[in-house]
Amino acid sequence: MKQFQIRAQIAREAARVMVEGASEDYQLAKRKAAERLGIGDPRVLPANFEIEEARQEYLRLFRADTQPEHLQRLRRVALEAMRFLARFEPRLVGPVLAGTADEHSEVVLHLFADTSEEVMMYLLEHGIRFEDGERRVRVSPSEVERLPAFGFLADDVPIELVVFTGRSRRRPALSPVDGRPMERAALARVEALVQDAG
């Protein structure tokens, strides 16, 4: 089998691992896929963007009856959360924006504030029960920042807020898919996505 065929085979299996396992970890999916296929050569592992393309294809083929409905529900929840958090200039990122989200996905919003405590106090003032933690975000090919994050449920949908403060406000997060600045959607764009889907 040619090298590009092996890469494609691993990408398809890694996509299946990510969808079925409700995971966003590309490296783990690659390792599991290669192991399941009995391939030990790391030189033939696909790039993340190849897995993402295979994931879109997998969803089209095997989840066409349910995935669009789940995606639309997640986008509606994201929209409501963004309206609620408007003072922090929320941006939707990840699978819910990209269209690859399914029933296992969470809504991820990037917020911008002077301090993470502002976001925490806002949630507390509005009686929202949350868990706090941190999210590792790549800001350059060689640098990862640990940013404050808050998680809560809205309409049984998990939402993660990643708070960019200080210097990190001016540094774009890099996409795990292709290493370029992560695509972020402001409120108006998410409203359009929800309206277009009817």
| Nearest of 64, 51, 150, 133 to residue 102 by alpha carbon | 64
The whole-model pTM stands at 0.86
| Cβ burial, residue 22 (10 Å; 0-12/13-18/19+) | exposed
Helices (H), the chain: 3-20, 26-37, 48-62, 67-84, 95-98, 116-125, 187-197
Q: Give the model's pLDDT for residue 1.
A: 66
| Residue 114 near residue 169, CB atoms below 8 Å | no
Can you list the domains of the chain with their CATH numbers? Answer: 3-62 (no CATH), 67-197 (3.30.460.10)
Q: Give the pLDDT of residue 108.
A: 97
Long-range pairs for 56-59: beta carbons < 8 A, 24 or more residues apart: 56/99, 56/100, 57/12, 57/15, 58/12, 58/15, 58/16, 58/19, 59/19, 59/100, 59/102
Residue 198, pLDDT score: 63
Residue corresponding to tokens 């504030």: 113
Can you state the percent helix, strand and coil of the chain, rounding each to 5?
50, 20, 30
The answer to whether residues 36 and 75 touch, using CB atoms and an 8 Å cutoff, is: no
In degrees, rounded to 5, the angle at the alpha carbon of residue 98 between the alpha carbons of residues 130 and 195 is 85
| Residue 63 buriedness (CB in 10 A; 0-12 / 13-18 / 19+) | middle
What are the residue ranges in the chain where pLDDT is below 70?
A: 1, 198
